[in-house]
Structure 1
Amino acid sequence: MRTVRILEEASQEAIEAAAWYEYEQPGLGAEFFDAVDAAFDVIEENLIPLSPLPEEAGDTDAKRLILERFPYDIVAIELSEEAIVIAVAHHSRKPGYWRERSKP
């Protein structure tokens, strides 16, 4: 098991997305949060390998976990003892918009 650290920007993206889903359909925001939380657990427990990002995202060490029900990627950098979630990125956003966050 490894530690998962979530950057403030990624946390804010998840909060804003959940609020939008909740506004669209009551209860859907909570379901989105549950999906994101489950994805964090998968990353923490290293249950499945994260997928490479599309080429358009640029050359970074980040990888992604694609949510099944929602059009979002959980973008993370994997270190030996820790995974750093740098974005909760909607599929319609420009790939790699979060690139500056991946710099130490």
Structure 2
Amino acid sequence: MPGLSVVFHPAAVEEAQAARQWYAARSQSAADSFLAELDRGIEAVSLAPERWPLFVHDTRRYLFQRFPFQLVYRVVKDSVQVVALAHGRRRPGYWKLR
């Protein structure tokens, strides 16, 4: 069953690229694992966007299992809008104005 389309805020794309580059500089295996976990998160929120509880400003968050990141997203009509790929231990709430 196809899920909702997933649209990334441009800043969330930059955050994903920066995180991948950071992991790749240390270990290509870690970078590959990070991207695989990101893909799992995207698929999960696409298929069941309301599975995760409300967070702040009508957003929800999907917590990564192996990395200190979270997909912060909101459901808008027939799509999921990822507003941030936020590091769980840095600058909480920086993305709230997106």
Q: TM-score, normalization: structure 1?
A: 0.84
| Structure 2 counterpart of 1:70 | 67
Q: Which runs of 5+ in 1 are unaligned?
A: 54-58
Cα distance, 1:51 vs structure 2: 3.1
Q: 1:79 aligns with which of 68, 76, 79?
A: 76
Q: Which runs of 5+ in 2 are unaligned?
A: none
Give 3-state SS (helix, strand or coil) of 2:93's partner: coil
Alignment of 1:29-44 (within 5 A): 29-44=31-46
Matched, 1:97 2:94: yes
The C-alpha deviation readout for 1:15-49, integer Å capped at 9, x for no partner, is 10011111112221111011111100001111761
Q: 2:22 aligns with which of 20, 23, 28?
A: 20
Are the counterparts in 2 of residues 51 and 65 from structure 1 also a CA contact under 8 Å?
A: no
Q: 2:48 aligns with which of 46, 49, 57?
A: 46
Q: In the superposition, relative to structure 1, how do residues 64 and 22 fare at CA in structure 2: closer, same or farther (>3 Å)?
A: same
The C-alpha deviation readout for 1:80-100, integer Å capped at 9, x for no partner, is 311100000001122210011
Alignment RMSD (CA, Å): 1.5
CA distance in 2, matches of 1:51, 1:13: 23
Q: TM-score, normalization: structure 2?
A: 0.88
Percent of aligned pairs with the same amino acid: 26
Alignment of 1:2-13 (within 5 A): 2-13=4-15
Q: In the superposition, relative to structure 1, how do residues 93 and 52 fare at CA in structure 2: closer, same or farther (>3 Å)?
A: farther
